[in-house]
A = this chain, B = another copy of it.
Amino acid sequence: MPEEIFADPSDTRAEILAATYRALCEHGYADLTISVIGEEFEKSPSLVYRHYDSKDDLVLSCLEYMLETLLTQFERETVTDPRARLEELAAWSLGEIPDDRREYFAVLSELRTLAVQDDAYRAHFTESDQLFAEYVADLIRMGIEMGEFQECDADRLARFLVSSVWGGVLRRSTCEPGSWLADLHREQVALLEERVYRS
């Protein structure tokens, strides 16, 4: 899970990116500076300046590192029950979640809208949405092959599922909490039941 990616950084690069992530959680993007990241970094702050040119260089590298690590986790996992995996993903994003994941979604939401103005962030989020949709589409195709899911357009449904999760993730980071979030989770599961699983 992404919030654990930085729990045990394995080398200097990972340590610098972990410091970037902690600084983002604490200060938000607008108040982030290389010097703030340097303070979070446990070794010499000058190492940060040596490896990275700018705040955005660091933040984009941090996003890429999180995406790579998550994809490696996906590749290594053995899914035997695609229905359970889809529901796990719905609960992971829209259910009751721990504070560190809440922070992770808040950081992602903030960084995502940088893509409105900035091509490099836009390229990152275009790629990550596409990779997540492919992962979900593969789960749907697996369920179809196992005879457990309906024949359906797996890619189209996966793209929609990723979007509706993003809607929920954005809203949970930008709205007061309320019963609406449990409703989203329930409707996301109902959508899987109606459109994906065999009834």
Q: Which residues of A contact B (CB under 8 A)?
A: 28, 30, 106, 109-110, 112-113, 115-117, 121-123, 125-126, 129-130, 133, 155-157, 159-160, 162-168, 170-171, 173-176, 178, 180, 183-184, 186-188, 190-191, 194-195
Contact = CB atoms under 8 A, between A and B. Distances in A.
Q: List 7 tightest A-B contacts by C-beta distance, closest first.
A: A167-B167, A160-B187, A115-B174, A163-B167, A164-B164, A166-B167, A113-B113
A122 B174 contact: yes
Given A164-B160, A187-B157, A116 B173 contact: yes
Contacts of A109: 113, 116
A112 B174 contact: yes
Dominant secondary structure at the A interface: helix
11 contacts: A115-B175, A116-B174, A121-B174, A123-B176, A125-B174, A126-B178, A156-B183, A160-B164, A160-B191, A163-B171, A190-B195
B112 A116 contact: no
